[in-house]
Amino acid sequence: MNASPLADLPWPNLREELLKPGPQCEDFIRQRIAYIQGQNPSLGAWELVDEEGALSQAKWLDHNKFKAPGPLFGMPVGIKDLFDVWGFPTQSGIRGWTTEVAKKDSTLVTRLRKAGAILLGKTVTTPLACFDPPATKNPWSFGHTPGGSSSGSAAALAACQIAGALGSQTGGSLCRPASYCGVCAMKPTFGIMPTDGVQPVSLELDHPGPMARNVSDLALLFGVLTNQPTPTTKVQAYTLGIPKGPFSSETSEELLTLFHSQVERLSQAGFGFVEVELPADFSSLYQDHYDLMAFGAYQTHKARFQNDPTVFPPKVSDLIQTGTKLTGKRIDQARQGALKRRQGLIQLLRGLDGWVLPGFHEYPPGCESTGVPRFHSPWSFLGWPEVSIAVEQGRNNLPVALQVVGRPHSDRALLAIAQTLSSVLGRPKLPPVGVS
């Protein structure tokens, strides 16, 4: 098998290789584990690597490969350390957060296993999936943040350590790290993926979702995680809206120029584009989103916070303290704001297949931050599906990303659009650490 298989091939092609006679899965997983062990001291993508469990899974799959192998047969995956995995504690980004091991897998982990995925371990999350930066580095440049909170999942994917990952988003925690690290992620429509066995941040904003190196694998994971057939790609020209407002005014001149160049290439490939003027009060939703997130974090952690606030790192503590000050009236206002905006903004999608906008407003900052979620938090607030794809390299060879957003429950159609975008625009090369 190619020494760098994850760099070159979508999963169905690799699956065919692993289904050949012999210990293909075991050899492949040993290769991945050795690579992780060599890179993790500097990259810091993994909370733990389950070498014994992964090799046991691989051997079992090799011995049973001709008994209706699943669609993810042999796929090495990472699980964000917010999800329960049987036999391991869910530390949620804080060492010593719990000593209790999970007694069963979360539903989404169970679905991955049943489809034939091999769990290599638990990837790093920022503490309690909030804003305090992790130890994880960006594989493209160790001086830049990988984003958060699904930091380890994004970094491990970019470094070709795994082919798929499980993450979650309350603000921008799937799509921002995917954009920064040059991979793909999907925040699905709110509520279509189960959240049992997942450490909550805010129950009314939390979205589990898949991450992958390419859009076709992202669609494959989405199908498994939702118990639906894998979305099919229908190559066609789409008509997409380009929302203005903060998505143009807050984007750096350099990234806006690249975005316009991408739109021009897509136009030449047959896409249609319509500029969309957002309501004048659109930016007020950011405060509504933050307040709902703060209120949810307080409700989740109030007992422990009141008992020992020193357990919580600074930015989580600030968020929870904000939540303590919010009245019921203010939270009702924020919820009504979400309802009102869903009703208004859905009208702006009429006649369009979705919206397309830059993946971020500026290149990833340094490691003292996880970046700004402003280009992603509106869709978490509204519960609309969002797909982030890396499409090229910009300044200092850092990845540049696009995102597509659609109306609720257009997830499958949105993945097809993302696949077509990716086929036209391409994707970044391997980052410096992603060479094995």
Task: Give catalytic residue positions.
Answer: 80, 149, 173
SS3 annotation, the chain: CCCCHHHHCCHHHHHHHHCCCCCHHHHHHHHHHHHHHHHHHHHCCEEEECHHHHHHHHHHHHHCCCCCCCCCCCCEEEEECCECCCCCECCCCCCCCCCCECCCCCHHHHHHHHCCCEEEEEECCCHHHCCCCCCCCECCECCECCCCCCHHHHHHHHCCCCCEEEEEECCCCCHHHHHHHCCEEEECCCCCCCCCCECCCCCCCCEEEEEECCHHHHHHHHHHHCCCCCCCCCCCCCEEEEECCHHHHCCCHHHHHHHHHHHHHHHHCCCEEEEECCCCCHHHHHHHHHHHHHHHHHHHHHHHHHHCHHHCCHHHHHHHHHHHCCCHHHHHHHHHHHHHHHHHHHHHCCCCCEEEEECCCCCCCECCCCCCCCCCHHHHHHCCCEEEEEEEECHHHCEEEEEEECCCCCHHHHHHHHHHHHHHHCCCCCCCCCCC
In whole angstroms, give the CA distance from residue 198 to residue 166.
11
**CB 164 within 8 Å of CB 11:** yes
